[in-house]
Amino acid sequence: MREAAFSLVGPIEGARVLDVFAGSGAMGLEALSRGAMGCVFVERDREACRVIERNLEKLRLTGAVVLCQEAVRALGEERARRHRYGLVLVDAPYEEWERYAASLSELIPGLLEEGGLAVVETVSRLEPELPLDLVTSRRYGSARITVFSK
């Protein structure tokens, strides 16, 4: 899924990245390894946050911040600080997309810089919507990757 997502996005050198519902941090780590300037990882699970931190150390990747808190709260704080990102990666737990959809629709547009992209991974049967321009939506087995631009 990482390869599919990044092939849809294209080059990301120098981008500031926000990895929401980061889990193990695989997507954000991939972004850093592809030349992103920095990445903010948002994950509520403390053990997953420790895994991300260990992986950052192990891979000697710099320019990262791990926010170990609930996604909507973290996004609200990032928006209040007027932080903007060139790439926002969103991989909410599939069964929880509907729970987060309204909050994400409200918060993500304000976090994207002009020309920035939001990449949303959901279960394949869902077609997520954000108040942004739809670039593409592709199914990969049981998953769907949808890319939006500002």
The CATH number covering residue 55 comes to 3.40.50.150
Helix (H, G, I), strand (E, B) or coil at 13: coil
Tally of CB atoms within 10 A around 117: 23
Alpha carbons 60 and 4: distance in angstroms, whole number: 25
| Domains in the chain, number | 1
At 36 the pLDDT is: 97
CB 9 within 8 A of CB 36: no
pLDDT over 90 (residue 15): yes
Alpha carbons 150 and 130: distance in angstroms, whole number: 10
- Mean pLDDT rounded to a whole number for the chain: 95
Of the candidates 34, 39, 43, 8, which has an alpha carbon nearest to the alpha carbon of residue 120?
8
Average pLDDT over residues 68-89: 97
For residue 44, the enclosing domain spans 2-149
